[in-house]
Structure 1
Amino acid sequence: MHIVNRHAAFWPIFRNPMVIATFVGFAFAILHPPMPDWLMLAIKLTGDAMIPLMLISLGARMATVTWGGWNLGVIGALVCPLTGIAMAALLSPMLRLDPMQSSLLILFGCLPPAVLNFMVAEQYNQEPAKVA
């Protein structure tokens, strides 16, 4: 978080919901703990509901955006997917992925970061209008 807030301490990053979810996801992927069906359904429904809520938040911010910095948005729209594709293509052989996994990594590498970057910019008040 030092990137978006130069005065941020290191340890509070572990209270960030995105970081917590990442670590919990890794732990579950490695350990494969048994989960009751009702809990899996509740987690899935909650996750499915969060995506539209984040998109609504992004849309509300974009409604107030001025088009003065449109060139920065175009550059970001081109550079971000190309960088993601390049990184995925470079990492795929190193990770020894099968062709299907490699294809998925490249596909997800080209997707825009969109909402999560906006949510972090909004949280730390670091030009959320430009990020949107």
Structure 2
Amino acid sequence: MNLVLTVAEIVAPVFLLAGVGFVWVKLGIEFRIRFVTHLAMTLAVPCLIFTALMKTDIEPAALTAVSLASIAAYAVVTVILWMTLAALRLDRRTFLAPLIFGNTGNLGLPLALFAFGETGLAFAVVIFAIMLLISFTFGVWLVSGGGSVVKALTDPVAIATVLGALFLWQGWSTPRFLTNTLELIGQLTIPLMLITLGVALARLKPANLGQAFWLSLLKAAVCMGVAAGFGLWFDLAPIPFAVLVLQVGTPVAVTNYMLAEKYGADADAVAGLVVVSTLMSVALLPLLLAVVI
């Protein structure tokens, strides 16, 4: 019973805040999702990443191990899903990126924070930043045939990650007044991203829900299994191991739908994946947390 209550306390705020966004839209109240997303990704998220890394007491070696495990996990997940979609004769341009890149921001960051505190958040932001770098290059290339490495490396999230890692490595810190300011801005991240997730789900028009169901199961099994395998391979401690599996195994991110719509892939099919995998995570993520806590 205590375990059930613990897991409920972790996941309830996540889905309640997403529910706020969902109800907000259904009530017909204006919500400018592009503005809020831009605010979060260019200001709030970089501040959160920078301060989380700068203030963490985690050894740089542990963060390095998590980074390498994340890169290896995403690489192997990509190969497995690429071959699977080829065998099933499904359009890789539509389905591959959504199946690889999960919602490590909207869902992964708050769950890591609520489940494992500031230590878990520090590991989670590193995996989140790695995922963004890969998705802004390889992911965009998959959907559009383009993708810019320079653009990804000059993104505020990438810059914040590099600066945070540098401050962590050198033991530096910003003046207290600046740290307080950056922390306040960073605290916008989690509520903004969760409410925005609910808004986005309320506006999606999903299609092919049967196909989306088994593809979502495939994503969860492959991503969590591969992440767990590399967590063991790199001999990660319990918290980074759990955060790695959680982050890599998060459901399909809404940004995949936006990219599909922008570049002419099957956006309605991707919307189905977003909705079904997110609803499925209501059951899967508590089960995962119950195992790793």
TM range (shorter): 0.5 to 0.7
- The equivalent of 2:202 in structure 1 is 63
- The equivalent of 1:87 in structure 2 is 226
- TM-aligned CA deviation for residue 113 of structure 1: 5.5
Amino acid at match of 1:52: P
Whole-angstrom CA distance in 2 between matches of 1:86 and 1:105: 11
Whole-angstrom CA distance in 1 between matches of 2:176 and 2:146: 43
- The equivalent of 1:16 in structure 2 is 155
* Residues 1:40 and 1:74: Cα distance change in structure 2 (over 3 Å): farther
Whole-angstrom CA distance in 2 between matches of 1:17 and 1:120: 20
Amino acid at match of 1:96: D
Amino acid at match of 1:119: T
2:255 to 107, 114, 119: 119
Amino acid at match of 1:3: L
Say which structure is richer in helix.
2
Asked whether the equivalents of residues 220 and 250 of structure 2 are also in contact (C-alpha less than 8 Å), the reply is yes
Does residue 39 (structure 1) correspond to residue 175 (structure 2)? The answer is no
**Could you list the per-position Cα deviations for residues 46-88 of structure 1 after superposition, in whole angstroms to 9, with x for gaps in the alignment?**
2221233233333333223224232344235323332332122
Asked whether the equivalents of residues 88 and 106 of structure 1 are also in contact (C-alpha less than 8 Å), the reply is yes
Amino acid at match of 2:151: P
Whole-angstrom CA distance in 2 between matches of 1:76 and 1:121: 15
**Could you list the per-position Cα deviations for residues 22-48 of structure 1 after superposition, in whole angstroms to 9, with x for gaps in the alignment?**
433433443332233333333333222
* Residues 1:121 and 1:7: Cα distance change in structure 2 (over 3 Å): same
Asked whether the equivalents of residues 4 and 121 of structure 1 are also in contact (C-alpha less than 8 Å), the reply is no
Asked whether the equivalents of residues 88 and 105 of structure 1 are also in contact (C-alpha less than 8 Å), the reply is yes
Whole-angstrom CA distance in 1 between matches of 2:175 and 2:145: 42
Whole-angstrom CA distance in 2 between matches of 1:32 and 1:76: 44
Whole-angstrom CA distance in 2 between matches of 1:86 and 1:72: 21
Whole-angstrom CA distance in 1 between matches of 2:215 and 2:186: 27
Asked whether the equivalents of residues 219 and 249 of structure 2 are also in contact (C-alpha less than 8 Å), the reply is yes
What TM-score, normalized by structure 1, do the two folds share?
A: 0.66
Does residue 52 (structure 1) correspond to residue 215 (structure 2)? The answer is no
Which shifted more, 86-95 or 4-13?
A: 4-13
- TM-aligned CA deviation for residue 12 of structure 1: 1.9
* Residues 1:68 and 1:107: Cα distance change in structure 2 (over 3 Å): closer
Which structure's relative contact order is higher, taking Cα pairs within 8 Å and 6+ residues apart? 2
- TM-aligned CA deviation for residue 11 of structure 1: 1.9
- TM-aligned CA deviation for residue 100 of structure 1: 4.3
